[in-house]
Amino acid sequence: MAFLTRDFIIFNKRISFAAIIWFLLALVAITIQIAKGLPGIHNYLIFKGVFWHTVHQTDLYALYQADLDLNHYGPVFSLVIAAFALLPDAIGCYLWGIANAAFLFYAVNRLPISKINQQLILLIGALEMMTSMHNVQFNPMVTSWIILSYIFVQNKNDFWATLFIALGILTKIYGIVGLAFFLFSDNKIKFILYFIFWCAVFFVLPMLLSSPDFIIQSYKGWYLSLSEKNMANQGSTMQGMSAMRVLQRVFMIKNLPDIYVLATAALLYLLPLARRSLLKVKSFQLSYLAFLLIGVVIFSTSAESATYVIAMMGVGIWFVVQKEKTYWVIALLVFAMLLTSLSTTDLFPKSIKADYIRPLALKALPCFVIWLVLCFQLLRRKFEESEVL
């Protein structure tokens, strides 16, 4: 009896205010979408379709009337969604949304920082998580995989770290940023071998649902679908909420090819890694994790509102690792909460969203500014192992 009482007390201590807000927002968003009927969960129907099209060996990247839109995920996604696709739509959608919220909640709670800082990150990212849930999206789970890949490297468990990296790459590409954690690994040879192993596993596994020829052909189709999506996003106001659009539309730097911005960003990603003495310092690693989470969104031509849960989790990590919460640090956080998290909600008038937020890609602006601040800090800040996080 005493054992059960002790477990009950420990369980209740873990139910924080942040946890209640987090899962309440997720449940509210999913319930609203399901109440709208099939149009409200069209993204889930696309995801479900990936499983059934794989089973029936029909083109994963064709436009089907039943799916309402195109799929842009890799063949291995058919396994990720499989357990949910087998259930009735309402139940499967509910569990899919909760699984996404739960994965990200778990990942943040595994970060090597204090409980209060973990909760603060969750609260900073909660609105964007809810936005992603309103779109019944996959982004919270993708975010959790990137964070978990760092956590497992930090815990000297490259086997599981590379699982999440490979899975992230072969579903939505974004997981590729996890390869940067290779430099934080104590055993780089094992890291490479484990990564190759998991890539092979995830390449082969979908064949169990279909056939080798179909999966190989599907990877070719995936490449073509991503290329076409990239071209379509160039002039879109709903997607392409990126740093490239901010430079073109806010700072009026016209005719700036995306490749120039991406090449500059790639160089800025590499420069902090030259500070080799800091690669094992936790505050530096966490800052670089935030750098990656923000950058993978703002330098993507496919970035849309529902994708920004990834970036805002990066903003949250950036905020908690600041040595001092100065006025400018707090101001940048408020700037991001207002313009990134709230600008696409009903709290902003439709006219402002239609005339300014979307056309100017202003949702990306605060994250771009914080990314630049992070870049400067990673190059110049004095990181110390003794920092209390």
With a cut of 90, say whether residue 202 has pLDDT above it: yes
Q: What is the pLDDT of residue 267?
A: 96
Please report where in the chains the tokens 């420069």 appear, as a residue.
271
Report helix, strand or coil for 239: strand
State how far the Cα of 373 lies from the Cα of 355, in Å rounded to an integer. Answer: 28
State how far the Cα of 23 lies from the Cα of 29, in Å rounded to an integer. Answer: 10
Q: What is the pLDDT of residues 55-64, one digit of tens each?
A: 999 999 988 7
Q: What is the pLDDT of residue 228?
A: 82
Sign of the Cα pseudo-torsion (112, 114, 117, 122, in order): positive
Stretch among 77-86, 179-188, 220-229 having the lowest mean pLDDT: 220-229
With a cut of 90, say whether residue 381 has pLDDT above it: yes
At 233, the pLDDT band (50, 70, 90 cuts) reads low
Two structure tokens written together for 90: 């309402």
| CB-neighbour burial class of residue 42 (10 A; exposed 0-12, middle 13-18, buried 19+) | middle
Alpha helices by DSSP H, listed for 205-281, are 212-232, 243-249, 258-270
At 386, the pLDDT band (50, 70, 90 cuts) reads confident
Q: What is the pLDDT of residues 243-253, one digit of tens each?
A: 999 999 999 98
Q: Is 136 left (phi over 0), alpha (psi -120 to 50) or beta?
A: left
Q: What is the pLDDT of residues 100-151, one digit of tens each?
A: 999 999 999 999 999 999 999 999 999 999 999 999 999 999 999 999 999 9
| Residue 349 C-alpha from the chain's centroid | 27
Two structure tokens written together for 119: 């909760």
Partner residues linked to 239 by β-bridges: 304
Q: Are 142 and 100 in contact (CB under 8 A)?
A: no
Q: What is the pLDDT of residues 255-305, one digit of tens each?
A: 889 999 999 999 999 999 999 999 999 999 999 999 999 999 999 988 888
Q: What is the pLDDT of residue 12?
A: 47
**Residue at 256: amino acid letter:** L
With a cut of 80, say whether residue 66 has pLDDT above it: no
With a cut of 90, say whether residue 88 has pLDDT above it: yes
Report helix, strand or coil for 304: strand
Write down the mean pLDDT value for the chain.
91
State how far the Cα of 223 lies from the Cα of 225, in Å rounded to an integer. Answer: 6
Q: What is the pLDDT of residue 355?
A: 86
State how far the Cα of 331 lies from the Cα of 167, in Å rounded to an integer. Answer: 36
Stretch among 170-184, 237-251, 339-353 having the lowest mean pLDDT: 237-251
State how far the Cα of 377 lies from the Cα of 251, in Å rounded to an integer. Answer: 23
Q: What are phi and psi of 345, to 5 degrees?
A: -95, 175
